[in-house]
C-alpha cells in the first residue's frame, strides 16, 4: 500500500527538513507547496508573482488555488506509489478536500511540535539553497549547500520580524485547527520537533514503522 504522509507543524518546525529525509529513505516524492510557489515566483509566472506578494507578507494563498495545485501534482505518475506533503493542508477546507482526493487511502499525519520561541529563532537564522531549495542543517557552512554545492541564502519571508510573528499568528488561527481535525485518527502522530534533526528523523521513522497498516522499506 502506498505511504501517503502529511507533515503538519508551524513554520520552521522542520517539516521540509524531515520531509526530504523521509522522501529519500522511502523513495517517494516530497511535495512542498511552498517550494512550488517559490519556484513559480522565480519563473515570474502570474501565479508566482501573486504568490510572492502574499508569501512576503506571511499571508496564505486561497484554498481553491492551493487545492487545484495539489490535485494536479498528486495526479502525476510519480505520486502513485506514495508521497510526503509538506505545507499542505494548511486549513481545514484544504484537509477536507485532501480526504476527498485520496478516496479512502490512509494518510499518515505527522505533527511536529516546537515552542514559539524556538520557531522564531529558527526563522531568524534559517538558510536555504537558492538552487535545490534544501534547508541548511546545524553544522553546515553559512554559504554553501551541502547537497548540491549551490549558494545558501535567506527566505524573503524570514527577513522581517513582523512577518515572522505574523506567520505564527496565521498558523495558530488557520492551521492549528487541523490538529483537532486529524487527532482522532489512528494514523495521527505528534513528535517533539524541538529535538536535533537526527533525533526527529529517528522518531519519525519509528512511528511510521510502528503503524501496523503502513508498510515501510525496512520491513519488506
Binding mask 48-77 for ligand AMP (x = CB under 6 A): ------xx--xxxx----x-----------
Residue 90 interacts with ligand AMP (CB under 6 A)?
yes
Residue 88 interacts with ligand AMP (CB under 6 A)?
yes
Binding mask 122-161 for ligand AMP (x = CB under 6 A): -----------------------------------x----
Catalytic residue among 73, 126, 147, 207: 126
| Residue whose CB is less far from ligand AMP, 57 or 215 | 57
Cα distance between residue 212 and residue 111, in whole Å: 19
Least Cβ distance, residue 46 to ligand AMP (angstroms)? 16
Residue 37 interacts with ligand AMP (CB under 6 A)?
yes
142 is catalytic: no
Residue 182 interacts with ligand AMP (CB under 6 A)?
no
| Residue whose CB is less far from ligand AMP, 158 or 203 | 158
Report residue 152 as a C-alpha cell. Answer: 545558501
> Which residue in 20, 87, 158, 200 binds ligand AMP (CB under 6 A)?
87
| Residue whose CB is less far from ligand AMP, 26 or 164 | 164
Cβ–Cβ under 8 Å, residues 187 and 109: yes
Residue 41 interacts with ligand AMP (CB under 6 A)?
no
Write out the DSSP string of the chain.
Answer: --EEEEEE-STTSSHHHHHHHHHHHHT--EEEHHHHHHHHHHHT-HHHHHHHHHHHHTPPPPHHHHHHHHHHHHTSGGGTTEEEEES---SHHHHHHHHHHHTT--EEEEEEE--HHHHHHHHHH--EETTT-PBP-TTS-SSB-TTT-PBEE--GGGS-HHHHHHHHHHIIIIITHHHHHHHTSTTEEEEETTS-HHHHHHHHHHHHHHSTT---TTT-
219 is catalytic: no
Q: Do you find a cis peptide bond into 89, omega within 30 degrees of 0?
A: yes
183 is catalytic: no
List, by residue number, the catalytic residues: 15, 90, 126, 155, 167
Which residues are at the interface with ligand AMP (CB under 6 A)?
A: 11, 33-34, 37, 54-55, 58-61, 66, 87-88, 90, 94, 157, 167
Amino acid at each position: 500500500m502506498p505511504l501517503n504522509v502529511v507533515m503538519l507543524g508551524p513554520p520552521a518546525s522542520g517539516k521540509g527538513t524531515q520531509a526530504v529525509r523521509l522522501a529519500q529513505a522511502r523513495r517517494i516524492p516530497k511535495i512542498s507547496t511552498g517550494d512550488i510557489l517559490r519556484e513559480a515566483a522565480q519563473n515570474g509566472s502570474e501565479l508566482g508573482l501573486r504568490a510572492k506578494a502574499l508569501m512576503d507578507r506571511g499571508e496564505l494563498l486561497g484554498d481553491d488555488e492551493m487545492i487545484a495545485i495539489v490535485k494536479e501534482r498528486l495526479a502525476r505518475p510519480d505520486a502513485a506509489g506514495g508521497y510526503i506533503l509538506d505545507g499542505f493542508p494548511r486549513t481545514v477546507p484544504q484537509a477536507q478536500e485532501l480526504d476527498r482526493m485520496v478516496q479512502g487511502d490512509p494518510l499518515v499525519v505527522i505533527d511536529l511540535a516546537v515552542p514559539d520561541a524556538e520557531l522564531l529563532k529558527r526563522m531568524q537564522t534559517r538558510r536555504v539553497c537558492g538552487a535545490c531549495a534544501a534547508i541548511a542543517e546545524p553544522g553546515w557552512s553559512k554559504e554553501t549547500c551541502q547537497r548540491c554545492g549551490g549558494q545558501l541564502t535567506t527566505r524573503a519571508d524570514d527577513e522581517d520580524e513582523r512577518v515572522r510573528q505574523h506567520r505564527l499568528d496565521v498558523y495558530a488561527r488557520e492551521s492549528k485547527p487541523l490538529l483537532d481535525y486529524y487527532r482522532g485518527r489512528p494514523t495521527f502522530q505528534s513528535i517533539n520537533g524541538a529535538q536535533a534533526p537526527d533525533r526527529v528523523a529517528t522518531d519519525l521513522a519509528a512511528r511510521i514503522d510502528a503503524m501496523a497498516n503502513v508498510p515501510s522499506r525496512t520491513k519488506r
